[in-house]
Amino acid sequence: MTPDRAGKKSRGLRIDFHVHLAVYTHHHEWVTEWMKQMHPMGYEEYIRRYDDPGAFEELLSAEGADYACVLAELSHVTTGVCTNEQVRKFCQGRPRLIPFCDLNPHLFTDLGSELRKKVEDEGFRGLKLYPTYQHYRLNDRRMYPLYQAAQELGIPVLIHTGSSVFKGSRMKYGDPLDLDDVAVDFPRLNLVMAHAGRGFWYDRAFFLSKLHANVYLEVSGLPPSKLMSYFPELGRITDKVIFGSDWPGMPWIGRNMKAIGELPLPADGVENILGGNAARLLRL
């Protein structure tokens, strides 16, 4: 934070680490129906409006967010497809929109080379993994060239952990414990656990983030009012916690940031969660 003209401290950056595109190339019907429940009025109009990146930036401003990480998804079986090219074009020329690619290991053979191409040639600044939707273990050795490349490139890896409501997802692949091997074998690779082990594994996710310097909790999809119940010692690790909304499925970016600000946490801890930690990983 920096002092303003009145001598008070202005707020730090506000970063949403977990945003999807409003319109995918393809959504399975069960995903569309679930999304409509989150938007009981005007869902189709809402997603069409924010399929425009300029309109989405206006939404970020209205919600009080300075940056958003926009995630590709290649989950053909369970949720749908938002291609890397879609995300690249959506974010192109817009510094507030930070593109994250997805590399489904069932679709690519040379994962390390593919990631280097995505980052060095196409401008992606992070990687999103969906093991629960794409059915693979995070500590599978075929993933190691991908992690090695991400470590060398210095980009963060955001990983879906925990449960999902969508057909075809397999919870066993969302166990955060699989990341213990990855964190040990790639100590300079920043690993961010999306949804913080949602459901079964809040305790494991918390312990891993406390144990490993390179492992972080990300709280998208979790009600802020429940965070202190899920993580009673959250105040001890505010330097390891990152805000995400899971927009548009969870469209309450500003409301959730405000609710986190009202938790019984130190002010500097709130600043870390709402943007400081993410800014460090993204080198903003």
Kindly state the average pLDDT of the residues 38-59. 92
Q: Where are the beta strands (DSSP E) in 124-247?
A: 126-129, 157-162, 191-198, 215-218, 241-242
Give the model's confidence band at 4: pLDDT under 50 very low, under 70 low, under 90 confident, else very high. Answer: very low
In a domain, 8, yes or no: no
Please provide residue 100's backbone torsions phi and psi, each rounded to the nearest 5 degrees: -115, 130
Evaluate if pTM is beyond 0.85: yes
Q: What is the pLDDT of residue 10?
A: 65
> Measuring CA to CA, which residue among 152, 149, 172, 148 is closest to residue 160?
172
Report DSSP state, residue 81: E
User: Exposed, middle or buried, 120 (CB in 10 Å: 0-12/13-18/19+)?
Assistant: exposed
Task: Return the structure tokens found at 192.
Answer: 């961010």
Kindly indicate the confidence band of residue 1, based on its pLDDT and cuts at 50, 70 and 90: very low
* pLDDT > 90 in the chain, percent: 87
What pLDDT was estimated at residue 113?
98
Phi then psi for residue 250, to 5 deg, are: -120, 95
* pLDDT one-digit tens code per residue, 78-113: 999 999 999 999 999 999 999 999 999 999 999 999
Judge whether 244 lies within some domain: yes
Asked whether residue 4 is assigned to any structural domain, the reply reads: no
State the Rg of the chain over Cα.
18
10 lies in some domain? no
Element (H, E) at 20: strand 15-20
Q: How many domains does the chain have?
A: 1
Give the start-end residues of each E strand in 209-257: 215-218, 241-242
Interval 211-249: pLDDT, tens: 999 999 999 999 999 999 999 999 999 999 999 999 999
pLDDT of 6 above 80: no
**C-alpha distances in Å from residue 118, one per residue of 23, 65, 71, 85, 181:** 22, 26, 13, 10, 25
Domain membership flag for residue 5: no
Q: What is the pLDDT of residues 132-148, one digit of tens each?
A: 999 999 999 999 999 99
> Which of 28-32, 166-170, 224-228 shows the lowest per-residue confidence on average (mean pLDDT)?
166-170
> Max CA-CA distance within the chain?
57
Q: Which phi-psi region, left, alpha or beta, contains residue 10 (left: φ > 0; alpha: ψ -120 to 50)?
A: beta
> What pLDDT digit, counting tens, does each position of 176-207 carry?
999 999 999 999 999 999 999 998 899 999 99
Contact call for residues 103 and 112 (beta carbons, < 8 A): no
Nearest one of 250, 251, 218, 252 to 237, comparing CA atoms: 218
**Can you tell me the distance from the alpha carbon of 220 to that of 242, in angstroms, rounded to the nearest whole number?**
9
Contact 226, 200 (CB under 8 A): no
Query: Residue 9 pLDDT > 70, yes or no?
Result: no
Strand pairing report for 26-27 and 126-129? unpaired
Residue 2: the pLDDT is 39
Whether 232 is covered by a domain: the verdict is yes
Q: What is the pLDDT of residue 136?
A: 97
Q: pLDDT band for position 38 (50/70/90)?
A: confident
Quick one: pLDDT band at residue 7, thresholds 50, 70, 90? very low
In 3D, which of 218, 164, 163, 171 has the Cα closest to residue 190? 218
Contact (CB, 8 A) for 224 and 259: yes
- Domain carrying residue 34: 15-282
The answer to whether residue 234 is domain-embedded is: yes
2, part of any domain = no
**pLDDT higher than threshold 60 for residue 5:** no
The CATH number of residue 57's host domain is 3.20.20.140
Q: Go through 83-102 and write b for each residue having 16 or more CB atoms within 10 A of its CB, e for each that does not.
A: bbebbbebbeeeebbbbbbb
